[in-house]
Amino acid sequence: MKRRPIIAANWKMHKVTAEAKSFMAELLPKISDLRNVDVLICPPFPLISTVDHAREGTNILLGAQNMHFEEKGAFTGEVAPAMLKDLNCEFVILGHSERRWVFGECDTFINKKVLSAFEHDLIPVLCVGERLEDREKNQTDQIILNQLENGLKGVSEQLLGNIVIAYEPVWAIGTGKNATAKDAKDAIALIREFIHSRFGTATAEKVRILYGGSVKPENIKTYMEQDGIDGALVGGASLEADSFAKLTIF
Ligand code: PGA
């Protein structure tokens, strides 16, 4: 089955309003002819409205980089799913390695977020991936499978078909050391096989699985050529409109 590719920008903690506006103004004409690729932009919370405004009349998709699973309450500094819906977000990145390893989020916590995102009609972009020490101990597959098993607990087969999963080896993020196309392909095949075994063939065929970690205009093609890789989640190379636009042509 042919899945629609998705190229996602994760701006992380970058840009202020003026920069987001000029990024969008520069990006739009560059991607106006794009027909067969979904473009998703995930700005930091304060810039979501700016990007939403700028994307009016385009097919650009909008996502947040994180959220809390609770509806509301005394959770200083957190953002609720309904707040993201209110800002017109369609997607939310969950379980990014920076959330896991810098902010201490565990699989149980991430699972609650995944369930809450679905409940609020937000599509999770669930990130999984091993650290360098896991890879060196030959534990890559086990780590990915555990993150999937625990992160997707309680998700129905019907909802799961809409999820986006990003395989992001931690050692490849922001380091310039991208995984080989074969490593990415193998990990993504493992993820699809897991979905197949737990959620059935139709769901496994539907779920889009991305690679992330030092993706750039110079290497996007090698990933997109691999069977089973449905797109990319991009940090550094998504910050300049020109480089991000180039990632949509592969
Ligand atoms: P990078 O980040 O492209 O800068 O490696 C990817 C990510 O963290 O999603």
The pocket around ligand 1, CB under 6 angstroms, is made up of 10, 168, 173-174, 212-215, 233-237
**Which ligand 1 atom is nearest residue 98's CA?**
8
For residue 237, what pLDDT band results from cuts at 50, 70 and 90?
very high
What pLDDT, on a 0 to 100 scale, did the predictor assign at position 176?
87
**Which ligand 1 atom is nearest residue 214's CA?**
5
Catalytic residues: 96, 168
Residue with the smallest CA separation from ligand 1 atom 1 is 235
For residue 110, what pLDDT band results from cuts at 50, 70 and 90?
very high
Please give the distance, rounded to the nearest whole angstrom, from the Cα atom of residue 6 to the centre of ligand 1: 15
For residue 120, what pLDDT band results from cuts at 50, 70 and 90?
very high
Pocket test for ligand 1, best of 6, 7, 10 (most atoms within 8 A of CB): 10
Residue with the smallest CA separation from ligand 1 atom 6 is 235
**Which ligand 1 atom is nearest residue 213's CA?**
5
Considering the chain, what is the average pLDDT of its residues? 97
- HEC profile for the chain? CCCCCEEEEECCCCCCHHHHHHHHHHHHHHHCCCCCCEEEEECCHHHHHHHHHHCCCCCCEEEECCCCCCCCCCCCCCCCHHHHHHCCCCEEEECCHHHHHCCCCCHHHHHHHHHHHHHCCCEEEEEECCCHHHHHCCCHHHHHHHHHHHHCCCCCHHHHCCCEEEECCHHHCCCCCCCCHHHHHHHHHHHHHHHHHHHCHHHHHHCEEEEECCCCCCCHHHHHCCCCCCEEEECHHHCCHHHHHHHCCC
For residue 2, what pLDDT band results from cuts at 50, 70 and 90?
confident
Please give the distance, rounded to the nearest whole angstrom, from the Cα atom of residue 194 to the centre of ligand 1: 24
What pLDDT, on a 0 to 100 scale, did the predictor assign at position 197?
97
Q: Could you give the domains of the chain?
A: 6-247 (3.20.20.70)
* pLDDT above 80: residue 136: yes
